Amino acid sequence: MHFFENEYLATFLMMAVFAFGLFLVCLFGPTSTQWIMSGIVWLFKPLWAFIKQRFDCYAEDRCSEFNRQTGLVSMAQGKKKIPLVAPFIEFDGYVERVVQRGGVFYKLMLVHRYTGKEFHHTSFS
């Protein structure tokens, strides 16, 4: 046995419920979003120190740097490996063209002249 015998009535009711829900989201969404996000922040505040510690530990070995004041380049080599630190002049730069579905992108590749290590984690469009 079907709940609605008339399929037109069922379709109309589904569209009416959808329109009413959309109306409620448009009406109360902008005013309640700030309260909802504040509540989420309030819930995660006790975990902030733990999250920050984990992020700092994660990012410590994965940060690369071009320092203009010292003229040194620091390139991350991965997890639990010390970064390669060398003067900027020891790096040779190449631009690689990458063609993908979204378009053409260019990748900046840096090769350390004396060790031959490649760093290609930089991209720009």
Cα gap 13→7, rounded to integer Å: 10
Q: Are 64 and 121 in contact (CB under 8 A)?
A: yes
Closest-CA residue to 3 (of 16, 14, 19, 15): 14
Cα gap 60→82, rounded to integer Å: 10
Per-residue CA distances from 34 to 26, 30, 44, 124 (Å): 14, 8, 15, 34
**What is the spatial order of strands in the sheet that 72-75 belongs to?**
65-67, 72-75, 84-87
Provide the pairing of β-strand 72-75 with 118-124.
unpaired
Domain ranges of the chain: 7-56, 63-124
Residue 78 is classified by DSSP as S
Residue 69: the pLDDT is 93
Which residue type sits at 111?
V
Per-residue pLDDT of the chain (125 residues; tens, 9 = 90+): 456 677 888 888 899 999 999 998 888 888 888 888 888 888 888 888 888 888 777 766 667 788 889 999 888 777 777 888 899 899 888 888 888 888 888 888 888 999 888 887 665 54
Which structure tokens are listed for 47? 């975990």
pTM above the 0.85 mark?
Answer: no
